């Protein structure tokens, strides 16, 4: 399993407008070929929004699937006016650029230790 993060740079004062968009189902589809979405979490502090997601599979396969998903383009249409970017998030090329520019480097990764077997 691999963990990734995307930064959503909202225009000043518009971060809270993203809450209902993410709450109504802005999650990536659960499957992309052999790649599976295991979890996704959105964090917001004022106008800074970060989505952390974990997948089994490859990021490249997940992105290839996501940029063709009409649901993601619909979310992009709603988010576009709120974001501090010129990227067209309603088209495949724009979404590819979005993933390329907004992917963050995850610097912490905590594994949950397995519990010892006390048999």
Residues 9-25: tens digit of each pLDDT: 999 999 999 888 888 75
| pLDDT higher at 30 or 35 | 35
In order of 8, 40, 88, 103, 119, the CA distances from 106 in angstroms are 15, 14, 25, 9, 37
User: How crowded is the C-beta side of 106, counted as CA atoms within 13 Å?
Assistant: 13
User: Where is mean pLDDT largest: 43-52, 73-82, 99-108?
Assistant: 43-52
Q: What pLDDT, on the 0 to 100 scale, is given for residue 116?
A: 63
Interval 96-116 mean pLDDT: 79
pLDDT per position as a tens digit, 45-64: 999 999 998 888 889 988 88
| pLDDT higher at 68 or 11 | 11
Set out the domains of the chain in order of their start, with CATH numbers: 2-104 (3.30.70.100)
| pLDDT higher at 62 or 116 | 62
**3-state DSSP assignment of residue 60:** helix
Q: Is 67 exposed, middle or buried (0-12, 13-18, 19+ CB in 10 A)?
A: buried
Q: What pLDDT, on the 0 to 100 scale, is given for residue 23?
A: 80
**3-state DSSP assignment of residue 98:** helix
Tokens representing 65 are 């699937």
Is residue 84 scored above 70 in pLDDT? yes
pTM over 0.75: yes
């Amino acid at each position: 399993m691999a963990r990734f993060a995307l930064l959503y740079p909202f225009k000043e004062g518009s971060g809270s407008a993203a809450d209902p968009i993410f709450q109504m189902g802005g999650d990536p589809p659960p499957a992309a070929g052999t790649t599976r979405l295991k979890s996704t979490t959105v964090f917001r502090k004022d106008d800074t929004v970060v989505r952390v997601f974990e997948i089994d599979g490859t990021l490249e396969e997940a992105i290839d699937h996501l940029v063709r998903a009409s649901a993601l383009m619909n979310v992009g249409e709603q988010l576009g006016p709120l974001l501090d970017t010129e990227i067209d998030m309603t088209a495949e090329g724009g979404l590819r650029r979005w993933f390329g520019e907004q992917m963050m480097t995850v610097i912490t990764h905590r594994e949950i230790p397995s519990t010892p077997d006390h048999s």
